[in-house]
Amino acid sequence: MAVSSREDLKQYCLRALGAPVLEINIEDDQLEDRLDDALEYWRQYHSDGVEQIYMKQMITASRLNLTTSTAGNFTLLETVTGQTSGATALITQEGTSVSSGSSLLVYKIVGTFVAGETITTPTRTAILSAIPFVKGVYDNQFITVPDLVYGITNILPIGNTYQNSQNLFNNIQYQMRLNSFADLSSISMIYYTTAMSYLDMVNFELNRIPTIRFNRYQSKLFLDINWDTEIFVGQYIVAQCYRALDPTEYNKVWSEPWLKHYTTGLFKKQWGINLKKFGGMLLPGGVTIDGQGMYDEAMGEIKDLEEELMNKSAPMSFFTG
């Protein structure tokens, strides 16, 4: 029978333990917990458990939520002041808009705006709603990372110099080839190699890759940069990440052989733990319950499977930023 879902894998493992010929003494919540344990271990250590992706995130502005405002347009870079809290912020934009009507885009918030207070600019006034504001990436100074991202290894260079160097006609490599490589058979590669090494050094100095801090249990990516001068609202940050495969999207995960064997071993271990509570009990027909024996057998199988995996896979710490 094909295994293509979570329930399919669970039933496959129960059949491997003897069901329905034998009664498997494990409660369904226990089965679900052990399946989660198996999936988490597989994602952390199996080479097929994660995929390398490039995650992009726009540096978003904060939003002041409005109930009413005077007629007219808010002006870019004007200062917004809370009349009760004394909090301030600068009006900014994402794309071409500074306001969606019910909210005003701002950044560089100082202080805390309060619900229902009047805010003013040199040209307009407005009143904040019950939820006065929501901070964006710029004011939080961190990027929220999805739970399935297990590791971040790199950030693409920040800044316009790197971007401009990729333009065909501004690209120095293109100009060198155009002017110097008319006859490849008579030109030494020594000059080209030396020049490219020098350009790599210049690019490294002028387009530095920011230091990052990331712990997947926080789900936050921190960039150690000067947020006032090195980044702006509306800019995109691109991070090189390792993301765990989502079996709801890639259902072939459920039929992975190691995962099936490991899940079966965890089910057997749980069955042994349950039966150990009745160890030595004599059943009708002279049969004795041996939960300890089943537990020990399961532990041996689990250990062998984990050693097999560790001998051919790198742990997550290898690629966690």
Give the pLDDT confidence of 2-45 residue by residue, as tens digits. 899 999 999 999 999 999 998 999 999 999 999 999 999 999 99
Are 31 and 68 members of one domain? Answer: no
Are 107 and 174 members of one domain? Answer: no
Q: Convert the pLDDT of each residue in 257-311 to its tens digit.
A: 999 999 999 999 999 999 988 766 665 555 667 789 999 999 999 999 999 998 8
- As a whole-number percent, the residues of the chain with pLDDT over 90 amount to 60
At position 80, the amino acid (one-letter code) is: V
- Say if residues 309 and 258 touch (Cβ distance below 8 Å): yes
**Cα separation of 244 and 46, whole Å?**
10
Burial level of 42, CB count in 10 A (0-12/13-18/19+)?
Answer: buried
Are 270 and 304 members of one domain? Answer: yes
Of 166 and 289, the structure prediction assigns the larger pLDDT to 289
Q: Is residue 320 part of a domain?
A: no
For the cut 70, the answer to whether the pLDDT of residue 184 exceeds it is no
Are 72 and 117 members of one domain? Answer: yes
Are 32 and 67 members of one domain? Answer: no
Residue 159 binned pLDDT confidence (cut-offs 50, 70, 90):
low
Structurally, the chain folds into a number of domains equal to 3
**Which residue from 135, 78, 142 is spatially nearest to 111, judged by alpha carbons?**
135
Q: Is residue 175 part of a domain?
A: yes
Q: Is residue 213 part of a domain?
A: no
For the cut 60, the answer to whether the pLDDT of residue 255 exceeds it is yes
pTM of the model: 0.76
Are 168 and 125 members of one domain? Answer: no
Query: Under 8 Å CB-to-CB from 77, ≥6 apart: which residues?
Result: 90, 91, 92
DSSP 3-state of 281: coil
Are 133 and 91 members of one domain? Answer: yes
Are 165 and 126 members of one domain? Answer: no
- Say if residues 283 and 275 touch (Cβ distance below 8 Å): no
- Say if residues 239 and 152 touch (Cβ distance below 8 Å): yes
| Size of the chain in residues | 321
Last residue of one domain, picked from the residues 111, 140, 169 = 140
Are 15 and 69 members of one domain? Answer: no
Q: Is residue 235 part of a domain?
A: no
- Say if residues 245 and 253 touch (Cβ distance below 8 Å): yes
Q: Is residue 85 part of a domain?
A: yes
Q: For tokens 């904060």, what's the residue? A: 62
> Containing domain of residue 273, as a range?
6-49+247-315
**Which residue from 18, 16, 1 is spatially nearest to 255, judged by alpha carbons?**
1
Last residue of one domain, picked from the residues 140, 172, 189 = 140
Are 130 and 191 members of one domain? Answer: no
Are 106 and 165 members of one domain? Answer: no
Q: Is residue 1 part of a domain?
A: no
Q: Convert the pLDDT of each residue in 218-242 to its tens digit.
A: 999 999 988 988 889 999 999 999 9
Are 68 and 42 members of one domain? Answer: no
Q: Is residue 32 part of a domain?
A: yes
**Cα separation of 264 and 55, whole Å?**
35
Q: Is residue 163 part of a domain?
A: yes
